[in-house]
Amino acid sequence: MYMKKSFFFLSLLLMGAGCASIEPAESIPETNSTQIEDPVSVDVDDAQTEPVVQDETATSQDSSEDQTDTSSVQVVDDNTNIVGSLFTTAQGAVDTRSLSSPARNSLYSCTATKMGTALDRSWVGEDGVIALADKPVVEGSIDWESSLNVAVDSAVRLITGNGLPDHKTGGFPVRPGSEASSYDRNPNRISSYSLSYEIPADPVIAEEPGCLPMGPIGVMLTGAVFYNALDADNRDAVANEVFDACEGHPQDRGQYHYHHLSSCMDYEDGIGHSPLIGYALDGFGIYGPFGDDGSVITNADLDECHGHVGMVEDENGSILEIYHYHANNEFPYTLGCLKGEK
């Protein structure tokens, strides 16, 4: 009952043990977002561009059509940006805290040493508390043909798909004149691509935590990837950027992604430990915001990588005591570093 996606455990040809990263057919250089006068920003690549392979046969929105459908807007609680009924606020990061080493309430970045200066957003308090209900939402209700397969062969878990989410999204590029465009003029269009990762089926905790790259750091069971908590300027993306009602948006190559928990993920509402909602690229699972007794997991319950060892149900329905990550409403929201061996 804990799975939102249907898993297809297939017999694969032997691929060898250990962790391997995605091997794209072509490499796309990392770019930075282009900023117009604050508080309005333009997301040219949103933040974090890792190689994305375009799938020429996969379905994407016609480039001549705007993805915004204002006649049927998918919203949460009357056009507010609440992550489910649970979180009306989030604890963000608006200071210039260090990103140079693993630490609770921060993240260990491969590319930055400290956080960038936060923008002046009306929904963010001086203490970093984000009033999610006050954030604008990118309008639209676009359906996608999502594909995600997860197969295990011995030591390897192979995750493949087209990168599109199994839920509706907002319309991108952001519609000019909308409330969202006053803060975030994301000009990017959601596109499908060939998603393929080989990760350890039985991950092992590393001697030292690893840093988080820009771009994808894992795959959610919705079919879309998730990034770390930073935007292109090393600010808290949740505090500064504007998303659709499912808390996602595309970067410059059309890769739809999340930076934090989404109401469109199946994490269940406090009826016990949250189910598996995705996998980090080190192989460890990521679970929703609830612990064993159904209470909300806080950062104080987690280590510097945003995880801990505990009893969880895996994709096969087995109850295991293993290391796992949690997504919650406190910065860095998903992962703070990579706990597993590379």
| Structural domain includes residue 14 | no
In the chain, which stretches have pLDDT less than 70? 1-86, 269-270
pLDDT at 324: 98
Measured distance CA(342)–CA(177) in Å, rounded:
45
| Structural domain includes residue 28 | no
190: left (phi over 0), alpha (psi -120 to 50) or beta: beta
pLDDT at 257: 98
| Structural domain includes residue 24 | no
Tokens for 314? 């895996």
Measured distance CA(312)–CA(297) in Å, rounded:
14
| Structural domain includes residue 47 | yes
| Structural domain includes residue 261 | yes
pLDDT at 26: 33
Q: Which domain holds residue 318?
A: 1-9+41-55+68-342
CA-wise closest residue to 316 among 9, 93, 76, 4: 9
In this prediction the pTM is 0.79
Mean pLDDT of the chain: 81
| Structural domain includes residue 262 | yes
pLDDT at 16: 37
pLDDT at 158: 97
Quote the number of domains for the chain: 1
CA-wise closest residue to 7 among 118, 161, 218: 161
pLDDT at 174: 97
| Structural domain includes residue 17 | no
pLDDT at 269: 66
pLDDT at 315: 81
| Structural domain includes residue 23 | no
pLDDT at 78: 35
What CA–CA distances, in Å, run from 208 to 199, 211, 227, 299, 305? 18, 10, 21, 20, 11
Given the structure tokens 């970067």, which residue do they identify? 251
